[in-house]
Amino acid sequence: MKTSASEIRLIDNYIQKQLSPADQLVFEANLLLCPELAETLRWQQAVHQLVKMRGRQQLKAQIKQVEQTLFTEVKHQTFREKIYKLFKRDL
């Protein structure tokens, strides 16, 4: 379904909790009256969920990359030794 720009904005503002209490009530009433709007809302929420997942995946990949550098590069040897010393009995 093709939606108008203003509807996309309205749904987005609802998801981001940026509507005034009055507008939010009107929007929620519309959700009950219009199943198509409710469906569009669900898909738009799915996009947000996916965007968040993607953001986390990329952040975690960067964290792992930094960790890898710190645990392998020569210049971070002091850091590594400090950590390994803590867990000496485990190794």
Partner 1 sequence: METSYINHENWLTHLYLSVFPAVAAHIKAKGGTLDDARDVFQDALVIYYEKVIAGKVVIEYSEKAYLLGIARHLWYHRQQKQKGRVSEDMLDYERLIEEEHSLPSAKRLLRYLETAGQKCMDMLQAFYYDKVSMREIAERFNLSGERSATVQKHKCLEKVREKVKEKSLTYEDFCL
- For partner 1, the binding residues (CB under 8 A) are 2-3, 5, 8-9, 12, 40, 42-67, 69-70, 76, 79, 82-84, 86-87, 90-91
Q: How far is the CB of 28 from partner 1 (least distance, A)?
A: 18
Q: How far is the CB of 16 from partner 1 (least distance, A)?
A: 8
Q: In the structure encoding, which two tokens stand for residue 2, read together?
A: 């093709």
Which CB, 7 or 30, lies closer to partner 1? 7
Q: In the structure encoding, which two tokens stand for residue 31, read together?
A: 């959700």
Q: How far is the CB of 88 from partner 1 (least distance, A)?
A: 10
Contact residues for 13 (Cβ-Cβ < 8 A; gap 6+): 19, 23
Q: How far is the CB of 18 from partner 1 (least distance, A)?
A: 13
DSSP secondary structure string for all residues of 13-82: HHHTT-S-HHHHHHHHHHHHH-HHHHHHHHHHHHHHHHHHHHHHHHHHHHHHHHHHHHTT-GGGHHHHHH
Which CB, 29 or 84, lies closer to partner 1? 84
